[in-house]
Structure 1
């Protein structure tokens, strides 16, 4: 199994193999998930103080906040790295 690394902004990298979902932070259920993760110590804020635009949910129940759009994260996740073939 190859490890797929995904840039989520500002030089922060996440293992693509661990990502379950990439969602928008606007809905009440997602806001609840973020607050629960914060209370449990499972929240990783990679926004550098900017507005949260994407919430990344991992298979280890960690929640990662990113300041780039969910569509952008998904494109980076789906596209091959330089020199790789799909």
Structure 2
């Protein structure tokens, strides 16, 4: 069963497909985001707010979120704990 996590403003991603959650502040990440926008492989889920996290997905897509990486990570971990508890 896929784990879906809320990444802000009604946007949800499949947690099983996330490779990493990184801060957008580093220059290499900024270049990755710019390249993804140019190639059409980026999804902006910030609803016009400042990007605080970049999710790198299995298929090479980037998802931009206005939530902090720590917040998204905590949500992903709490979801996996809930599933473990229910088993």
Mapped to 2, the partners of 1:52 and 1:80 lie a distance apart of: 23
Mapped to 1, the partners of 2:18 and 2:76 lie a distance apart of: 9
Aligned pairs (5 A) from 1:28-39: 28-39=27-38
Alignment match, 1:65? 64
Q: What TM-score, normalized to structure 2?
A: 0.91
Structure 2: segments with no counterpart, 5+ residues: none
Aligned pairs (5 A) from 1:33-52: 33-52=32-51
Aligned-residue CA RMSD (Å):
1.7
Deviation digits for residues 12-57 of structure 1, max 9, x if unmatched? Answer: 0000111000000000000010011111100100000000000000
How many residues are paired up? Answer: 85
Q: Deviation at 1:11? A: 1.1
Alignment match, 1:18? 17
Mapped to 2, the partners of 1:80 and 1:35 lie a distance apart of: 31
Structure 1: segments with no counterpart, 5+ residues: none
Mapped to 1, the partners of 2:54 and 2:48 lie a distance apart of: 15
